[in-house]
Each structure stands twice: as C-alpha cells, then as structure tokens.
Amino acid sequence: MQFFSGSSVVDVSLSPTAPPGTATGHAGNNANVLYIFNRNGICLLYREWHRLLRTLDASQDQKLMFGLLFSLRSFTAKMDPVSADKGNLGVPLLPGQGCSFYSFRTNTYKLSFMESPSGIKLILITHPKTGDHRESLKHIYNLYVEYVVKNPLYVTGTPIKSELFTTNLDQYVKTLI
Amino acid sequence: MGREVAESCIDGVIIEMVSAYGRRFYATKPELAAHRIEAIGYQVGHQLIERYTMERPRFNDHLEVIKFICKDFWQELFKKQIDNLKTNHKGTFVLQDNNFRWLTRISIDPSSDNNDGSQGSSSEATNLLLYFPCGIIRGALSNLGIPCAVSADSSNLPFCSFMVRIKA
C-alpha cells in the first residue's frame, strides 16, 4: 500500500469568531506544533511555535506522524468494546468509520487530533495541562476552509503557502488556553 | 422572486470559471482567456442591470448612472457600496473598493517573491479574475445606453479600483 505520493516541507515562521480563551503560559503562543495532512499523507502545513527537541529530519518526522495516526485509528477501531462492526485488520479506514480517537497525553505534551470528512487531518501539540481541544481544531479547520480552500490561487493537494491563513492561524493560536 | 443560493457556491463557480479559461482552455493565450471572461461578465452585467432598474425612473445624466452603479448595484452584488468615486468630468470615472469581496481570500505566497515565474502567475490569475467584474460593469453601463471601456487595477489586495472610460 503506497500512501506517500511525495511530501514536501513548508517551513514558514474573515474570520469566524473564536471560542473564548485567554493567553497564559509561554510568551505569546500556547501551542507547540501544528501539522495538517491531507488524505494521501501529503503534509500540507507544518508549523512550529515552540519545539525544543528535533530528532528526525522534517520529511521523516512527517511520515512518522502520519503513520502513527493511521495505525492509531486502526487500532482504536479494532479494540472498540462498544462497536459491533468487526472489519478486517489492515484495511484502511474511511474518515467516518470506527470510533474517533482525539487525543493522547504524555507527561510533557498533549497531542490533539481531528479528521474532517474530506480526509484532512489536523494535529495540534500543546502543553499537557490543556483541556479538550476539539473546538479549537474545528476552528482551525474553519480557517483552513475560509483562507485556503476558497483561495482562487490554491491548488488542492499542494503545501499551503497562504499568508492570510498563517497570519490568522498565529493570531488564533495566541488565544488558546 | 427571492430564491437564494449560498455564497460559497457562487465563489466556487467564479473561481473555477476563471481557472478553467485561464489554465485549460486558453492556457497559451491569456489575452483570449481575458476576452472570454470579460464577455461572460458583459452578459451577466447586461441582465442584472435590467432586474435592478426595473422600478426606477430614467437617469438624467452619466453621473447619475455611475452613482447608481456605485451605490445600489454594488450593494446588490457585493453587499457593500463603492468606497470612493473620482471623476475628471470628461468621461473618466474611478471606482475604488477598499475590500473587494472576491479578492478577500486571495493570498500571495511570501516565500516565492524571488521567483518571478510564480509571482507573475499569481498576479496573472488575479488579473484574469478581475476581468469578470470589469465585464459586469461594462455590460451594465452599455444596457443603460452608455458605451464604455472598463479596466481594473489591484496592486494592493484586497483594495481594488475600476477605471471607467465613457466613449464620447
């Protein structure tokens, strides 16, 4: 199964109303890293605000992240004690299938995940004491739709280069708890 | 009367039309693509102005027509009025819109500033997109009996100005 049709890194340093949040903690930004993948595993956006340790080079890092989430989704769907559907292990899941995994937490960070019906995966890494980030991820997805999908100059499936989007994203992330 | 359509649908259709003419049909001849897009705008403007001037009395002079375009027509199309109108009283008018609705989401890639190829193509795409409202204005004015030429300038997105030259 070949999922990686090529990924390239975008290293870049109207809106709908944001859910309330106050900026505390690190100076300025409250999130550490954000990844956006599309359905084929292409990393549309990698944005970091506060990342101290870098172990792999960027494309390896993104492949690892995508692979992790792919496997985690499969795993959570198979181990679900409530669902009646026993699909085959290893078959790729469609965006709506299976229970939706949405975050995991370690002692140093918390990773929040959201997948849209169109296969766009948003991964947000923040400090471990944050609450649930599902609403924030929905808001970021909204920003993506407004400034990227509706941009006449954007070609779907390519890395995001829109200045409007990154500016609004930075502004919004500053307000996250 | 009064059936409604979501604005995202209109946005999508316009984006796709400009991109289809610019990149697929006339990919090697951008002037032809511009001409086609302007012609489509001409038809649209022609028909729209009929609707929006249905109950109005006749216009007395060119300035009144342009003021109608700036206020009522623009309000109907883009939910706001033209912000600034300038004229030289000799048949040239400049309509300035500080936040043109169809340009609000365009964003130029900052890191490709040194690559002239892609910077050129993004401003080309914006220019192609702007031929459509130029055509709308030209169609509207010509249906009111005023032959003219319209051009657009968008050096500073989303600020945009349209220059209307009335043919004497």
User: Is A133 within a domain?
Assistant: yes
Give chain A positions within 8 Å (CB) of B12.
150
Q: Which residues of A touch B18 (CB under 8 A)?
A: 152
Q: Domain span at residue A64?
A: 26-176
| Residue in B19, B105, B111 nearest the CB of A161 | B111
Closest by Cβ to B105, choosing from A12, A161, A164? A164
Q: What is the pLDDT at residue A90?
A: 64
- If one counts every other C-beta atom within 10 angstroms of the C-beta of residue B151, the result is 13
Q: Is the pTM of this model over 0.90?
A: no
The proportion of chain A whose per-residue pLDDT surpasses 90, expressed as a percent, equals 11
Asked if the structure places residue A9 within a domain, the reply is: no
Question: CB distance from B125 to chain A under 8 Å?
Answer: yes
Q: What's the rounded Cα separation, in Å, for the pair B110 and B114?
A: 9
Interface contact B107-A151, CB threshold 8 A: yes
Whole-number Cα distances in Å, A93 to A5, A57, A172 = 18, 28, 31
Alpha carbon distance B132, B100 (integer Å): 13
**CB burial class (10 A; 0-12, 13-18, 19+) of residue A100?**
middle
Q: Which of A99-103, A109-113, B85-89 has the lowest mean pLDDT?
A: A99-103
ipTM of the modeled complex: 0.74
- Single-letter residue type at A173: V
Q: What is the reported pLDDT for B1?
A: 61
Distance in angstroms (rounded) separating the CA atoms of residues B31 and A129? 58
Question: Quick check: A113 contacting B, CB < 8 Å?
Answer: no
How far is residue B137's CA from residue B139's CA, in Å, rounded to a whole number?
5
Give residue for tokens 């979501």.
B6
Nearest CB partner across the interface for B122, out of A147, A153, A164:
A153
The Cβ of residue A88 has, within 10 Å, a number of other Cβ atoms equal to 6
To test the contact with chain B by mutation, choose from A9, A47, A153, A170 the residue with the greatest count of B C-beta atoms within 10 A, namely: A153
Number of folded domains that form chain A: 1
Distance from B112 to chain A by nearest Cα, in Å?
9
- Reduced to 3 states (helix: H, G, I; strand: E, B; else coil), residue A123 is strand
pLDDT digits (tens, 9 = 90+) for A44-59: 998 888 887 777 888 8
Kindly state whether residue A19 falls inside one of the protein's structural domains. Answer: no
Does A124 map to a domain?
yes
B119 touches chain A (CB under 8 A): no
pLDDT at B162: 92
Size of interface A-B (CB pairs under 8 A): 42
Instruction: Tell me if A127 is assigned to some domain.
Output: yes
CB contact under 8 A, A150 and B15: yes
Q: Give the whole-angstrom CA distance, residue B162 versus residue B153.
A: 6
- What CATH code is carried by the domain that includes residue A141? 3.30.450.70
Q: Is the pLDDT assigned to residue A20 strictly greater than 80?
A: no
Asked whether residue A14 is assigned to any structural domain, the reply reads no
Q: Is A14 an interface residue toward B (CB < 8 Å)? A: yes
Instruction: Please give the pLDDT value at position A21.
Output: 41
A78 occurs within a structural domain: yes
Q: Is residue A13 part of a domain?
A: no
Backbone dihedral region for residue A17 (phi beyond 0: left; psi -120 to 50: alpha; all else: beta): beta
Give the three-class secondary structure for A45: strand
- pLDDT at residue B119 tops 60: no
d(CA A149, CA A46): 17
pLDDT at A25 over 80: no
Query: Per the CB < 8 Å rule, is A147 touching B8?
Result: no
A162 exposure class (CB count in 10 Å sphere: 0-12, 13-18, 19+)? buried
